[in-house]
């Protein structure tokens, strides 16, 4: 059992040493010595607690080989690796038992594994930093290009401003020169006039008093001219200051405009990127839609037959036709969801059929109600005919009463009429020929007319509204037209029949 365990450990150490590039000469003596050695578990446990020689030197050597830059890096790594192997061999030779050697090799391999993992973590961190630096570099290059463009635009604007300032300076210099020339001409003219005055003073001594007065006037005029000249100079200084302020304002506005231009350029760049992305996505979607359209056109030909059958059933209803037309337009736009929408249409069709059946049942109920109302109408018509007969009889009686002479009215005296006590109210008799009975009959006739004109037209006019309510049911369900009610009556209203004596 001990020999098999030692052999398995020997194979594991071979793999470990082969993975860490250790020399293969150590395997054969280990196999020979371990077969005759004591228990391996105790020795390994004891050696794991101790320290192996040469362990502190190997990480420094590896670090030196990693940090050495240059073209001969491979040769340096090979030399360092050879030194490390020699040191490891010396350390192993210094140990007495093969178990100690194997434990030292295991510790060495564990240290190397930890170092390799640390180096891999560092390498990943360095790679992440490198990718971030590359992204920052690209971003900075874009910003640098934007700054160069803005700088070129600012330089062009500055040149234009310099040109404008030069033109303004040239104009101001030209105006100042013109003003100086005018002033010199005025001075020359003034000097000429003074010389003429002096000549005249010499020639005309008699006019000294007048000339003195003229000189005083001229002095006053000169003072006024000097004051005007000073005011003019002050005005020119103010104009120059105003020009300088305007130039400062223009500079501030230019800076603002440049900032606004930068913001606008940034926004335009973002919009361009967004539009490019949308364009690529829309092209890709368009290609997919074209491919799907070719595939779904065949399915549309099959579904169109079903829709035509469905459309023929709903052609009479305007509201259902408009909804169907809108849904057909939606179906052409949303070809991707055609199969789902067909299932929805089937469910809607079933629900519509159920609704039609329910409405047909409601129609049957309303037909029964309509028949009951028709019976009531027939009763009312009979009643109206009976009332018309009574009215005709009353009219005939009135005509007879009007033809008979009014002898009864003349025979009665006012004294007898005053002495009679008042009789109780009784219904009038048709054979009586007094004017009070005629008035009562007329009053009753008016009451009948008012009642008939207020109540009966509402009942007669109620049937067209009911027919308007049931009309869409007839359009939706063609079988319902078999049970449709008769058309409305074209007879005049009952009030006119009663008033004019026309029969229903």
CB 400 within 8 A of CB 374: no
Report d(CA 361, CA 367) in Å as an integer: 10
Over residues 371-423, the pLDDT tens digits come to: 999 999 999 999 999 999 999 999 999 988 888 755 455 444 444 444 444 44
- Judge whether 463 lies within some domain: yes
Give a yes or no: residue 21 inside a domain: yes
pLDDT at res. 455? 55
- Per-residue pLDDT band for 365 (boundaries 50, 70, 90) equals very high
pLDDT at 144: 92
* Residue 306 belongs to a domain: no
Residue 495 has pLDDT above 60, yes or no: no
In the predicted structure, residue 107 carries a pLDDT above the cut 80: yes
Who has greater pLDDT, 218 or 3?
218
Structural domain tally of the chain?
A: 3
Average pLDDT over residues 9-27: 41
pLDDT-based confidence at 298, cuts 50/70/90? Answer: confident
Residues 33 and 102 placed together within one structural domain of the fold:
yes
Judge contact between 35 and 3, C-beta under 8 A.
yes
Please indicate, yes or no, whether residues 16 and 133 belong to a single structural domain of this protein. Answer: yes
Are residues 242 and 118 both part of a single domain?
no
pLDDT for 456-465, tens place per residue? 555 445 444 4
pLDDT tens readout for residues 46-94 = 333 443 333 433 433 434 444 444 456 667 767 776 777 788 788 778 8
- pLDDT tops 60 at residue 426: no
- Please indicate, yes or no, whether residues 96 and 46 belong to a single structural domain of this protein: yes
158 is a domain residue: yes
- Mean pLDDT score, 167-195: 88
- Tell me the two tokens of residue 404: 């008979």
pLDDT per residue as tens digits for the range 121-159: 999 999 999 999 999 999 999 999 999 999 999 999 999
C-alpha angle with apex 275: 269 to 278, nearest 5 degrees?
145
Pick the last residue of a domain from 211, 243, 270: 270
Percent pLDDT > 70 in the chain is: 63
56 and 107 belong to one structural domain: yes
Q: Which domain holds residue 54?
A: 2-141
- Least confident residue range of 118-132, 310-324, 416-430: 416-430
Question: What is the rounded radius of gyration, in angstroms, for the C-alpha atoms of the chain?
Answer: 63
Q: Are residues 127 and 212 in the same domain?
A: no
205 shares a domain with 235:
yes
CA distance 99 to 231: 115
Say what the pLDDT of residue 289 is: 84
Both tokens of 5, joined, read 């365990």
Is residue 17 domain-shared with residue 89, that is, in the same domain? yes
């Amino acid at each position: 059992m001990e020999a098999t365990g030692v052999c398995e450990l020997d194979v594991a150490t071979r793999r470990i040493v082969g993975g860490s590039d250790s020399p293969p000469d150590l395997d054969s003596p280990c196999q020979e010595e371990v077969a005759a050695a004591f228990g391996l578990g105790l020795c390994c446990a004891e050696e794991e607690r101790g320290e192996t020689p040469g362990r502190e030197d190997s990480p420094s050597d590896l670090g030196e080989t990693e940090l050495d830059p240059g073209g001969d890096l491979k040769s340096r790594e090979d030399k360092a690796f050879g030194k490390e192997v020699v040191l490891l061999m010396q350390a192993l030779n210094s140990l007495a038992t093969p178990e100690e050697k194997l434990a030292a090799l295991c510790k060495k391999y564990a240290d190397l594994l930890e170092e390799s993992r640390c180096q891999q973590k560092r390498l990943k961190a360095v790679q992440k930093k490198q990718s971030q630096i590359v992204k920052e570099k690209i971003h900075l290059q874009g910003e640098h290009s934007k700054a160069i463009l803005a700088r070129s635009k600012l330089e062009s604007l500055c040149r234009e401003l310099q040109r404008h300032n030069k033109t303004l300076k040239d104009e101001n210099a030209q105006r100042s020169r013109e003003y100086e020339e005018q002033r010199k001409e005025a001075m020359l003219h003034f000097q000429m006039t003074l010389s003429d005055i002096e000549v005249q003073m010499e020639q005309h001594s008699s006019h000294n008093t007048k000339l003195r007065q003229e000189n005083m006037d001229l002095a006053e005029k000169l003072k006024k001219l000097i004051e005007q000249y000073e005011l003019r100079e002050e005005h020119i200084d103010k104009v120059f200051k105003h020009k300088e302020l305007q130039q400062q304002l223009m500079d501030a506005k230019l800076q603002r405009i440049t900032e606004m231009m930068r913001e606008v350029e940034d926004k335009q760049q973002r919009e361009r990127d967004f539009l490019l992305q949308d364009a690529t996505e829309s092209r890709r979607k368009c290609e997919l839609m074209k491919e799907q359209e070719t595939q779904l056109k065949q399915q549309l030909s099959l579904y169109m037959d079903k829709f035509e059958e469905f459309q023929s059933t709903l052609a009479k209803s305007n509201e259902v036709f408009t909804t169907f037309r809108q849904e057909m337009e939606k179906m052409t736009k949303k070809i991707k969801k055609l199969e789902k929408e067909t299932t929805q249409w089937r469910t809607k069709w079933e629900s519509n059929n159920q609704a039609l059946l329910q409405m047909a049942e409601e129609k049957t109920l309303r037909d029964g109600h309509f028949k009951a109302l028709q019976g009531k109408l027939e009763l009312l018509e009979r009643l109206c005919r009976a009332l018309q007969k009574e009215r005709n009889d009353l009219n005939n009686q009135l005509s007879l009463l009007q033809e008979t002479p009014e002898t009864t009215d003349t025979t009665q005296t006012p004294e007898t009429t005053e002495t009679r006590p008042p009789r109780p109210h009784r219904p009038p008799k048709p054979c009586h020929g007094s004017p009070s009975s005629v008035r009562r009959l007329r009053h009753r006739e008016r009451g009948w007319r008012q009642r008939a004109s207020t109540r009966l037209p509402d009942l007669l006019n109620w049937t067209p509204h009911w027919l308007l309510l049931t009309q869409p049911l007839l359009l939706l369900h063609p079988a319902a037209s078999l049970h449709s009610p008769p058309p409305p009556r074209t007879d005049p209203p009952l009030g006119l029949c009663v008033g004019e004596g026309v029969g229903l």
